[in-house]
């Protein structure tokens, strides 16, 4: 971790300090304390974990209360095809339960001072008194942050009683449900340099020296700490103000705690739509460390914004095949384990239209196979739905065969945890003896590579195609447009082939050919030779032996002519043939020790060497086309050595060239930071 060093005017520094430490109630000062209660105490048993929100009245208005839900431990088994030692890679993790159970513990961050709300308010629900605080249990609105999981919570010793009902009434009552269906929006997470894995001194603070630009069409902003933040107490000061007239729309200070038992910690959602919608805004942040020792701080900004269509593309992650028998069956090694594949969800998905698709076959080789099996589907840790397998017949081997189960699940909202990393698409729990056949198991959505203003034609170096294919390895494909004025003149395709990494170890790639096929719907003028890198490549014994063996084989080949002409003993000729055959075998084995790459106008071939099965292979291809106002590109197949059946999960995008007028000279999701300068590389010194 790096210590933060900032040169900042003393007067401005004192203003921030005053806001964090001595802020008046007019600014909006909230100090949270977490109270943990059981679900039955709030009448929530049987309700969906994502169906509720908790609100409190502070001052004259309501604020949303972040909450965490006791996580359930699950065993995850990576979906490994044709591997006999899959059981060694099983690992334990945690997920949010689909519904509240009687003893599910809910930990709610409650302000120290709350007022009893009036009988009628813009948002309604059941009113509870938890200790001395008043909390409204309300239906969740589309832009309310979802809960985060917490490991091992214990109920607090506080009295709880229901004291009334708040009716949703008035001109502003529950406005978001209708608004969210009328406007197409995107959500994405990014960071600020000032609070990204930054060490903050004891009782010190860190703050943005250059505010973050928010586009017009910003609807909501969430602020959340990740679990990189060390346990302790922190105060977060935020201000959203008008870029044109400096009018302050939202300003406040929130004090909260991090305990190291959750993947992320929601701090505060800011409903920009209420006051500043469709304005050009700036976001200013400061974090104070309230602890007597230095602490690492890591903050995520998650936004919901109106989208435009000129840079949209479809992204996908998972595995799918059109082959009628599916991929080779996978044996779940333990009872009640979850079959899981790693997926990458890129920032910038379209809110409300993401889709999870599952089509799976199941057989159970057990005399006690149940008549039906219901399995939950997770984008870990979030539950998205369930599918049911129904008994059909027993096959010749005595295994119970079930009808193919399939389901499509939509409408989930990405969280900070999912937006900034790789997660799993998991199905389970499954009984002992289960064999899973995958036809389709993937997640997809639409993506806008940047969240600049809706009319901004800023295309330079923005990712506009993103796909992750999984078959015993993770293949990620990204494409970047090359533009000249309003014309698309080519693209850069970046391919990364990685082994699956689990807490139980690295699952090695299979050596041999991995073939990626693609189509570019424009005449290709030139295809440059590929550049590629193998992470951790080292000079090994095979590198020294290969030239020697090649020279020996050349000598043996020359000797062969002499031996054929002069040797009379058949045994001598046979011995020579054995030696030359062994030499060729040795040369072939040594030649295949290192990974090689070849490309054509429609495919990329990554031949993984047997020495490099635990390495990441990254390939860059420059493709130049005739200038077009728009170009469509498809990546539609990934064939690997693990199975003869390719993963057929197409990713497609059409990009249109636009004149560079009113360009926003920054990128955000591409770098995961707002980035000021042009150029293909994300330079840390240009991060805001």
Last residue of a domain, which of 592, 618, 653? Answer: 592
Contacts of 248 (CB under 8 A, 6+ apart): 239, 240, 241, 242
Beta bridge partners of 69: 106, 149
Cβ atoms of residues 58 and 254 within 8 Å: no
Asked whether residue 403 falls in the same domain as residue 504, the answer is no
Query: Comparing 142-151, 451-460, 596-605, 660-669, which segment has the lowest mean pLDDT?
Result: 451-460
Asked whether residue 574 falls in the same domain as residue 670, the answer is no
Per the model's pLDDT, the better-predicted residue between 634 and 667 turns out to be: 634
Tens digits of per-residue pLDDT, 123-144? 889 999 998 999 999 998 877 8
Asked whether residue 279 falls in the same domain as residue 377, the answer is no
Query: Comparing 138-147, 311-320, 437-446, 657-666, which segment has the lowest mean pLDDT?
Result: 657-666
Q: Could you give phi then psi for residue 395, rounded to 5 degrees?
A: -85, -175
CA distances to 176, 544, 587, 591, 603 from 581, in Å: 74, 20, 10, 15, 33
The H helix count followed by the E strand count for the chain is 5, 48
pLDDT at 449: 61
Element containing residue 560 per DSSP (H, E) = helix 541-566
pLDDT at 617: 87
pLDDT at 532: 75
Of the candidates 358, 351, 399, 400, the residue with the CA atom closest to the CA atom of residue 376: 358
Is residue 212 one of the residues assigned to a domain? yes
Asked whether residue 194 falls in the same domain as residue 272, the answer is yes
pLDDT at 383 over 60: yes
Tens digits of per-residue pLDDT, 447-463? 766 666 544 545 545 56
Taking each helix axis from N to C end, the angle separating 570-591 and 541-566, rounded to the nearest 10 degrees, works out to 160
Cβ atoms of residues 621 and 599 within 8 Å: yes
Is residue 45 one of the residues assigned to a domain? yes
Tens digits of per-residue pLDDT, 203-223? 999 999 889 888 777 888 889
Supply the pTM of this predicted model.
0.82
Cβ atoms of residues 289 and 295 within 8 Å: yes
Q: How many CB atoms lie within 10 A of CB 266?
A: 26
Query: Comparing 472-481, 629-638, 660-669, which segment has the lowest mean pLDDT?
Result: 660-669
The b-or-e profile of 284-297 (16+ CB within 10 A means b, else e) is bbbbbbbbeebbeb
Query: Comparing 86-90, 220-224, 407-411, 611-615, which segment has the lowest mean pLDDT?
Result: 611-615
pLDDT at 539 over 80: no
CATH of the domain at 210: 2.60.120.660
DSSP class of residue 504 equals T
Asked whether residue 285 falls in the same domain as residue 335, the answer is no
pLDDT at 179 over 60: no
Strand 61-64 and strand 52-58: the pairing is antiparallel
E strand residue ranges, 212-354: 212-214, 218-226, 232-242, 248-258, 264-270, 281-289, 295-297, 299-306, 313-320, 330-331, 337-344, 349-350
pLDDT at 392: 94
Asked whether residue 498 falls in the same domain as residue 618, the answer is yes
Task: Report helix, strand or coil for 417.
Answer: helix
Is residue 460 one of the residues assigned to a domain? no
Asked whether residue 477 falls in the same domain as residue 584, the answer is no
Structure confidence at residue 150 as a pLDDT band (50, 70, 90): very high
Task: Enter the tokens of residue 389.
Answer: 């397998």
pLDDT at 405: 94
Q: What's the domain range around 557?
A: 541-592
Query: Comparing 96-100, 601-605, 676-680, which segment has the lowest mean pLDDT?
Result: 676-680
- Tell me: cis bond preceding 381? Omega within 30 of 0 counts: yes
CA distance 322 to 309: 30
CATH of the domain at 375: 2.60.120
Asked whether residue 58 falls in the same domain as residue 127, the answer is yes
Contacts of 568 (CB under 8 A, 6+ apart): none
Number of domains into which the chain is organized: 5
Mean pLDDT of 164-184: 64
Q: How many CB atoms lie within 10 A of CB 173?
A: 13
Asked whether residue 360 falls in the same domain as residue 254, the answer is no
Is residue 455 one of the residues assigned to a domain? no
Of the candidates 252, 247, 290, the residue with the CA atom closest to the CA atom of residue 269: 252
Last residue of a domain, which of 171, 200, 227? Answer: 171
Asked whether residue 410 falls in the same domain as residue 525, the answer is no
Mean pLDDT of 384-412: 91
| Residue that has been written with the tokens 């049911």 in this structure | 388
pLDDT at 2: 38
E strand residue ranges, 290-421: 295-297, 299-306, 313-320, 330-331, 337-344, 349-350, 355-364, 372-379, 382-394, 400-402, 405-410
CATH of the domain at 526: 2.60.40
**Highest averaged pLDDT of the listed ranges 309-323, 356-370, 528-542:** 356-370
pLDDT at 588: 46
CA distance 13 to 202: 17
Please give the mean pLDDT across all residues of the chain: 79
Structure confidence at residue 420 as a pLDDT band (50, 70, 90): low
Query: Comparing 133-142, 544-553, 658-667, which segment has the lowest mean pLDDT?
Result: 544-553
pLDDT at 348: 64
Query: Comparing 115-124, 476-485, 664-673, which segment has the lowest mean pLDDT?
Result: 664-673
pLDDT at 520: 84
Cβ atoms of residues 649 and 442 within 8 Å: yes
Last residue of a domain, which of 592, 623, 654? Answer: 592
Asked whether residue 264 falls in the same domain as residue 244, the answer is yes
- Within 13 A of 210's CA, how many CA atoms are on the CB side? 13
Is residue 571 one of the residues assigned to a domain? yes
Angle at CA of residue 447, ends 443 and 451, nearest 5°:
145
Per the model's pLDDT, the better-predicted residue between 249 and 530 turns out to be: 249
pLDDT at 21: 46
Asked whether residue 63 falls in the same domain as residue 193, the answer is no
CA distance 552 to 548: 6
pLDDT at 23 over 80: no
Alpha-helical (H) ranges within 4-91 are 10-21
Tens digits of per-residue pLDDT, 241-279? 998 899 999 999 999 999 999 988 999 988 888 788 888
Cβ atoms of residues 213 and 242 within 8 Å: no
pLDDT at 562 over 70: no
């Amino acid at each position: 971790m790096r210590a933060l060093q900032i040169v900042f005017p003393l007067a401005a520094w004192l203003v921030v300090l005053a806001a964090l430490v001595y802020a008046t109630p007019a600014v909006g000062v909230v100090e949270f304390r977490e109270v943990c209660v059981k679900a039955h105490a709030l009448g929530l048993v049987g309700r969906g974990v994502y169906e509720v929100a908790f609100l409190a009245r502070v001052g004259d208005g309501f604020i949303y209360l972040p909450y965490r839900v006791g996580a359930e431990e699950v065993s995850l088994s990576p979906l490994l095809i044709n591997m006999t030692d899959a059981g060694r890679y099983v690992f334990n993790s945690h997920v949010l339960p689909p519904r509240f159970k009687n003893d599910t513990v809910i930990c709610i961050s409650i302000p120290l001072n709350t007022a009893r709300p009036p009988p009628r308010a813009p948002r309604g629900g059941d009113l509870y008194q938890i200790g001395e605080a008043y909390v409204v249990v309300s239906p969740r609105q589309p832009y309310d942050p979802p809960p985060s999981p917490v490991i091992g919570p214990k109920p607090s010793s506080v009295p709880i009683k229901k004291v009334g009902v708040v009716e949703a009434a008035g001109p502003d009552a529950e406005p978001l449900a209708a608004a969210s269906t009328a406007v197409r929006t995107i959500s994405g997470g990014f960071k600020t340099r000032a609070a990204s894995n930054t060490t903050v001194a004891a009782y010190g603070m860190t703050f943005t020296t250059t505010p973050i630009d928010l586009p017009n069409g910003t609807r909501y902003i969430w602020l959340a700490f990740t679990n990189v933040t060390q346990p302790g107490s922190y105060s977060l000061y935020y201000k959203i103000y008008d870029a044109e007239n400096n009018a302050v729309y939202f300003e406040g200070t929130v004090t909260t705690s991090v305990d190291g038992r959750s993947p992320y910690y929601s701090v505060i959602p800011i409903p920009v739509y209420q006051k500043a919608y469709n304005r050009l805004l700036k976001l200013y942040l400061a974090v104070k460390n309230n602890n007597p020792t230095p602490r690492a701080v890591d903050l995520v900004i998650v936004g919901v914004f109106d989208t435009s269509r000129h840079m949209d593309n479809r992204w996908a992650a998972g595995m799918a095949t059109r082959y009628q028998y599916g991929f080779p069956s996978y044996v779940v090694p333990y009872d009640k384990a979850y079959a899981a594949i790693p997926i990458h969800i890129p920032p910038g998905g379209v809110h409300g239209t993401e889709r999870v698709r599952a089509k799976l076959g199941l057989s159970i080789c057990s005399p006690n196979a149940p008549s039906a099996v219901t399995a939950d589907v997770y984008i870990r840790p979030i539950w998205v739905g369930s599918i049911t397998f129904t008994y059909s017949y027993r096959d010749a081997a005595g295994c119970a065969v079930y009808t193919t189960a399939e389901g499509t699940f939509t409408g989930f909202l990405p969280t900070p945890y999912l937006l900034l990393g790789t997660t799993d698409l998991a199905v389970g729990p499954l009984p002992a003896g289960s064999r899973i056949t995958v036809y389709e198991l993937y997640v997809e959505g639409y993506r806008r590579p940047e969240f600049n203003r809706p009319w901004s034609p800023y295309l330079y170096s923005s990712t506009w195609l993103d796909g992750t294919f999984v078959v015993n390895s993770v293949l990620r494909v990204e494409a970047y447009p090359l533009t000249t004025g309003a014309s698309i003149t080519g693209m850069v395709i970046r391919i990364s082939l990685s082994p699956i990494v689990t807490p139980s170890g690295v699952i090695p790639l299979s050596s041999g050919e991995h073939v990626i096929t693609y189509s570019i719907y424009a005449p290709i003028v030139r295809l440059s030779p590929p550049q590629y890198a193998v992470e951790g490549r080292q000079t090994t014994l095979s590198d020294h032996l290969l030239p020697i063996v090649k020279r020996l084989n050349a000598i043996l080949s020359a000797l062969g002519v002499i031996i054929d002409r002069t040797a009379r003993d058949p045994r001598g000729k046979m011995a020579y043939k054995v030696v030359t055959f062994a030499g060729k075998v040795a040369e072939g084995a040594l030649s295949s020790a290192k990974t090689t790459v070849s490309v054509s106008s429609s495919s990329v071939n990554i031949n993984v060497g047997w020495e490099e099965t635990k390495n990441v292979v990254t390939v860059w291809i420059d493709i130049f086309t005739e200038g077009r106002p728009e170009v469509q590109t498809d990546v539609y197949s990934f064939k690997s050595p693990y199975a003869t059946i390719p993963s057929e999960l197409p990713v497609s995008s059409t990009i249109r060239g636009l004149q560079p007028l009113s360009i926003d000279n920054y990128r955000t999701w591409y770098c995961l930071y707002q980035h000021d300068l042009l150029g293909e590389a994300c330079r840390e010194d240009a991060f805001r």
